[in-house]
Amino acid sequence: MARLILLLGDQLSAGIAALAEADPADDVVLMAEVAEEAGYVPHHKKKLAFVFAAMRHFAEELRAAGWQLRYTRLDDPENSGSLVGEIARARAALDVEEILCTEPGVWRLRQALAAVPGLTLLPDNRFLIDPAGFRAWAQGRHQLRMEYFYRDMRRRTRLLMDGDQPAGGEWNYDHDNRGTPPHGTTPPPLPAFEPDAITHEVLRLVEQRFPDNFGDLQPFTLAVTRADAEAARDHFLAHALPRFGDYQDAMRRGEPVLFHAHLALYMNIGLLDPLDLCRRAEAEWRAGRVPINSAEGFIRQILGWREYVRGIYWLHMPHYADANALEAHRPLPDFYWTAETDMACMRDAVEQTRAHAYAHHIQRLMVTGNFALLAGIDPYLVHVWYMAVYADAYEWVEMPNTIGMALFADGGIMGSKPYAASGAYIDRMSDYCTDCRYRVKLKAGPDACPFNYLYWDFIARHRDRFARNQRMGPIVRNLDRMSDDRKAEIRADSARFLDALVPAGSRWGG
Ligand SMILES: Cc1cc2nc3c(=O)[nH]c(=O)nc-3n(C[C@H](O)[C@H](O)[C@H](O)COP(=O)(O)OP(=O)(O)OC[C@H]3O[C@@H](n4cnc5c(N)ncnc54)[C@H](O)[C@@H]3O)c2cc1C
Ligand code: SF4
């Protein structure tokens, strides 16, 4: 009897476990665009179009390769609206008993699918370590430091290894990843892919069904096929990877991508293979075309951080979603959706997010994330925002980055101290402050950079907790040395600024 092979929207890989187990002659592949997944957070229009267009193109590839396919479109009048509903409809129509699916990347859906009778979940073979392997690594460790995990992954995959030693002599070249590009440096433009008839149809659907969602749908130039994603990959390796290492932490007005890969969206949906990408980056270094700080820095992000955050997600769900160690309860400010703020750094980060469904890591962590941390915004609301606005956002990767890395809401599972910074950090790494209504050098008063007083207000609010944290000790001692008048000034400036914030309300899930 035929089996049903359920393929989820971010499982667009020909070698994925459920397809590898299946038989094209007998089994039927089920793919479905459903309202439940499209609407559980208010996704950016570009993200919706990217996922649906990539799904439809992948379905065409499967058909061309001889697979029998059952594909439900979002606007199909019979569409049940949920994946479980689509399984039930397919079952009734096709008389199948057994269903195969590769593990989804979100806890909620995993629970729902695990409860479907006859459905077997297979481990996702696109990752380099599975949740059980990560659990074994984590067992008995006092702290789950990414650096040690990463070194184990280097040994395990043999990436960037010379025998049992790290290639180039060091495990980590992070200290060489903090340059800022000199004036006049021109980053390579991203390759742009013209939408074809399938993508145009999806663009019309998204505009019609999600007119009020956040984000600009046009221009839409993302790759939606494997071939185009591979072209984007090759472009990155040839033109941006050589300087990726030097300028990884830099931010520039009007340059959303700089020398970053802009490939997470293609890896996360299944169009690019992470291990293959790492091997290609290593080959560029071995061929002498890119420096070691670029190759190692890039591989560390994928082999280290990407795998590590997934391990943390599965280790700590479902409780991770509710984590709020710093008891932050402020509503998300409206400017996260509108970009209407005088803070030039926040405005630029939100504007480019709205235009491209993209911001690079330091903007996510040290601008929008840092502000939410300092202002004490409710982690769940911040999580919904990050899940909604980026084309690469899936819960297994977004949630630990937001709840753990950016907001320290997990109380220190992911990081030994919060990534909190005043305006000086943003000024050092960007050119935002030269065009800001606030003055980054001022510490107090209505013209001072809000990051400056919010930073100390944050430290003061959590003084007792941070006093117990070895790495925060010197900062707490600096606070303690301040006069009472100075502390009162910080409190007053912060209260004035925070009280004036307009909450986002429920417009976009705020
Ligand atoms: C608050 C916050 C939310 C984030 N949400 C997401 C998300 O939803 N999806 C997502 O893929 N990444 C997320 N990240 C991680 C990182 O910011 C993005 O992977 C990266 O910006 C994607 O752009 P890029 O492809 O140009 O990456 P590059 O900077 O060029 O890095 C190369 C690759 O390394 C991987 N990578 C780098 N940093 C991380 C990280 N911290 N965690 C996991 N993978 C990493 C990505 O696959 C990325 O494509 C988030 C980070 C923060 C601080
Ligand atoms: S002065 Fe402060 S608010 Fe303005 S851009 Fe610089 S860091 Fe951002």
154-158, 170-174, 485-489: range with lowest mean pLDDT: 170-174
pLDDT given for residue 509 in this prediction: 45
- Give yes or no for residue 47 CB within 6 A of ligand 1: no
Structure tokens at 214: 């956040």
Read off the pLDDT band of 183 (50, 70, 90): confident
Going from the Cα of 435 to the center of ligand 2, the distance in angstroms, rounded, reads 9
Q: Based on the domain organization, do 246 and 110 belong to the same domain?
A: no
Q: Based on the domain organization, do 273 and 422 belong to the same domain?
A: no
Read off the pLDDT band of 2 (50, 70, 90): confident
Q: Based on the domain organization, do 416 and 443 belong to the same domain?
A: yes
Ligand of minimum distance to the alpha carbon of 243: 1
The answer to whether 152 and 176 are in contact (CB under 8 A) is: no
- Give yes or no for residue 415 CB within 6 A of ligand 1: no
What values do phi and psi take at 348, rounded to 5?
-65, -45
Q: Based on the domain organization, do 40 and 65 belong to the same domain?
A: yes
End residue of a domain, out of 316, 347, 372: 316
Could you give the CA distance from residue 61 to residue 345 in angstroms, rounded to a whole number?
42
- Give yes or no for residue 345 CB within 6 A of ligand 2: yes
How far is the CA of 439 from the CAs of 252, 431, 433, 447, 488, in angstroms? 18, 13, 7, 6, 20
- Give yes or no for residue 261 CB within 6 A of ligand 1: yes
Q: Based on the domain organization, do 100 and 150 belong to the same domain?
A: no
How far does the chain reach from its first CA to its final CA, in angstroms?
47
Read off the pLDDT band of 506 (50, 70, 90): low
Ligand of minimum distance to the alpha carbon of 106: 1
Q: Based on the domain organization, do 299 and 404 belong to the same domain?
A: no
Going from the Cα of 430 to the center of ligand 1, the distance in angstroms, rounded, reads 19
Going from the Cα of 443 to the center of ligand 2, the distance in angstroms, rounded, reads 12
**Strand-strand pairing, 28-32 and 99-102:** unpaired
C-alpha torsion angle, residues 36, 96, 93, 18 (rounded to 10): 40
Residue 63 lies in a domain: yes
- Edge-to-edge strand ranges of the sheet holding 119-122: 68-72, 28-32, 4-6, 99-102, 119-122
Residue with tokens 């291990």: 275
- Give yes or no for residue 307 CB within 6 A of ligand 1: no
Q: Find the domain containing 278 and state its range.
A: 131-188+240-316
pLDDT digits (tens, 9 = 90+) for 363-390: 999 999 999 999 999 999 999 999 999 9
pLDDT, mean of residues 255-278 = 97
- Give yes or no for residue 451 CB within 6 A of ligand 2: yes
- Give yes or no for residue 371 CB within 6 A of ligand 2: no
Could you give the CA distance from residue 281 to residue 238 in angstroms, rounded to a whole number?
10
- Give yes or no for residue 433 CB within 6 A of ligand 2: yes
Nearest CA to ligand 2 atom 6: 433
Residue 197 lies in a domain: no
Q: Based on the domain organization, do 460 and 395 belong to the same domain?
A: yes
CA angle 420, 408, 431 (to 5 degrees): 30
Residue 227 lies in a domain: no
Residue 38 lies in a domain: yes
3-class DSSP state of 149: helix
Residue 137 has pLDDT above 50, yes or no: yes
End residue of a domain, out of 122, 157, 172: 122
End residue of a domain, out of 76, 93, 122: 122
Could you give the CA distance from residue 398 to residue 394 in angstroms, rounded to a whole number?
6
Q: Which atom of ligand 1 is closest in space to residue 264's alpha carbon?
A: 49
- Give yes or no for residue 213 CB within 6 A of ligand 1: no
Residue 345 has pLDDT above 50, yes or no: yes
Ligand of minimum distance to the alpha carbon of 421: 2
Going from the Cα of 374 to the center of ligand 2, the distance in angstroms, rounded, reads 14
Burial of 73: CB neighbours in 10 Å, binned 0-12, 13-18, 19+: middle
- Give yes or no for residue 265 CB within 6 A of ligand 1: no
**Strand-strand pairing, 165-166 and 161-162:** antiparallel
Burial of 120: CB neighbours in 10 Å, binned 0-12, 13-18, 19+: middle
pLDDT given for residue 505 in this prediction: 76
Could you give the CA distance from residue 410 to residue 33 in angstroms, rounded to a whole number?
33
pLDDT digits (tens, 9 = 90+) for 297-335: 999 999 999 999 999 999 999 999 999 999 999 999 999
Residue 88: give its domain's CATH number.
Answer: 3.40.50.620
Q: Based on the domain organization, do 135 and 116 belong to the same domain?
A: no
Residue 214 lies in a domain: no
Q: Based on the domain organization, do 273 and 376 belong to the same domain?
A: no
Residue 221 has pLDDT above 60, yes or no: yes
Q: How many residues does the structure list for the chain?
A: 510
The total number of structural domains that make up the chain: 3
Residue 383 lies in a domain: yes
Residue 177 has pLDDT above 90, yes or no: no
Buried b (16+ CB within 10 A) or exposed e, 12-35: bbeebbbbeebeeeebbbbbbbbe
Q: Based on the domain organization, do 64 and 171 belong to the same domain?
A: no
Task: Give percent above pLDDT 70 in the chain.
Answer: 99
- Give yes or no for residue 406 CB within 6 A of ligand 1: yes
Residue 310 lies in a domain: yes
Structure tokens at 439: 């003055």
Read off the pLDDT band of 180 (50, 70, 90): confident
> What value does the mean pLDDT of the chain take?
95
Residue 508 has pLDDT above 90, yes or no: no
In this prediction the pTM is 0.97
Residue 235 lies in a domain: no
Residue 407: closest CA among 346, 333, 324, 473: 324
- Give yes or no for residue 160 CB within 6 A of ligand 2: no
Residue 153: give its domain's CATH number.
Answer: 1.25.40.80
Residue 83 has pLDDT above 80, yes or no: yes
Q: Which residues contact 58 (CB under 8 A, 6 or more apart)?
A: 12, 31, 225, 226
- Work out the widest C-alpha separation in the chain, in whole angstroms: 78
- Give yes or no for residue 267 CB within 6 A of ligand 1: yes
Helices (H) and strands (E) in the chain, counts: 25, 7
Residue 374: give its domain's CATH number.
Answer: 1.10.579.10
- Mutation choice for ligand 1 from 397, 398, 405, CB with most ligand atoms inside 8 A: 397
Q: Based on the domain organization, do 396 and 309 belong to the same domain?
A: no
Q: Based on the domain organization, do 272 and 403 belong to the same domain?
A: no
Going from the Cα of 361 to the center of ligand 1, the distance in angstroms, rounded, reads 6
